[in-house]
Structure 1
């Protein structure tokens, strides 16, 4: 069932007895499927959680995406199902091997074994003026990573960021961590929307922003 608030290529489908977010493509992480559609589990995907919670992501389908922190491909494979060229940056070799498997049937998904903290190492590959940056990295300095990669984002593009409080400081109050990250982020971006993702991901903040 199409939903005007979702990107083209993302639908709510009846799968395994439940109405779920879904994209059309080969399964990647054991998710249930039906009629060529694969369920998008918001409890395993920060972006999936943001879509379920009604964030205005600006995604319409077919856009060029830079995905930072692709891991084994759980979320970025869904993105590549409905987006255009999707550059998937992952630093750790083990999940990157799984990411290659997810990319094999997806000719729009381009895995890059690179460090998202060092965008200069993949600047020669990623197209200028991408429509969206999706960031889900488990490291300190998540706002710094977003700022360093702002060079790739089109003037009217969107940053879709999940801030992980425990990756920044496991001892601090998550709210304090989020405020500090947003303060730094505002040096490079205009923040459009923030909301906690605790319904699906404890101590995470979803952020939508545009470049300054």
Structure 2
């Protein structure tokens, strides 16, 4: 039986010890990246695979809070081709909205096709390291998510949180340790990232994403 998890808009099916995650499909009958579609009664669900999405991996790995819910306005940095973006779109629903930003024109072209099917997503072609260039396109948001594998990923995150996130709201940062410093152990990099984040934000939770994503950690932060 598919039932809702402790996270609003996220559902699960238990098969022994295995948990399979789902979101309710905003566009019934349409698969975004080849994921399974399952219909139960009048509702269609899309499988949310942890090997394809760091946010799904964090939920499977036991993160305690995500703070994403229906009717939320989201800024998603590092949207890529829209795999996780599409599930965030499912969760926020028709009353929410997702600004999906990426710096690669080829990727944003694919996002445009996704947006033709999903009216609650807008693609933004921009460099997340220069938030001033899109501050007139993106309003203050309720929730921010970043997945950018660059050396300066923490600074990029902090600049965008400062400019776009409402006070008291949450932002999630997916950190790839090897992109920051390939010479250090990932655990050392994650400790340094946490100390950096805590200078201006409350770090509410963090979880390692292995075995789904090697040398990755997801931080949940709250803006003061």
TM norm. shorter chain > 0.5: yes
Cα deviations by residue, 1:4-36 (Å, 9 ceiling, x for unpaired): 41223x22258xxx8621121432111111223
Q: Is the 8 A contact 1:90 1:112 kept in 2?
A: yes
TM-score (norm 2): 0.87
- State the alpha-carbon separation in 1 of the partners of residues 134 and 199 from structure 2: 23
- State the alpha-carbon separation in 2 of the partners of residues 158 and 132 from structure 1: 5
Mapping for residues 72-91 of structure 1, pairs under 5 Å: 72-83=81-92, 84-91=96-103
- State the alpha-carbon separation in 1 of the partners of residues 34 and 112 from structure 2: 16
Deviation, structure 1 residue 60: 2.4
Residue aligning to 1:21 = 21
Mapping for residues 1-212 of structure 1, pairs under 5 Å: 1-8=2-9, 10-13=10-13, 20-23=20-23, 24=25, 25=27, 26-35=30-39, 36-55=44-63, 56-83=65-92, 84-128=96-140, 130-150=141-161, 151-212=163-224
- State the alpha-carbon separation in 2 of the partners of residues 119 and 38 from structure 1: 32
- The count of corresponding residues between Structure 1 and Structure 2 is 208
- State the alpha-carbon separation in 2 of the partners of residues 28 and 4 from structure 1: 22
Secondary structure in structure 2 of the residue aligned to 1:175: helix
Deviation, structure 1 residue 3: 2.3
Unmatched 5+ stretches in structure 2: none
Residues 100 and 13 of structure 1, relative CA distance in 2, 3 Å threshold: farther
Task: Give the CA RMSD over aligned residues.
Answer: 1.8
Unmatched 5+ stretches in structure 1: none
- State the alpha-carbon separation in 2 of the partners of residues 90 and 52 from structure 1: 26
Secondary structure in structure 1 of the residue aligned to 2:75: strand
Secondary structure in structure 1 of the residue aligned to 2:168: strand
Q: Is the 8 A contact 2:21 2:49 kept in 1?
A: yes
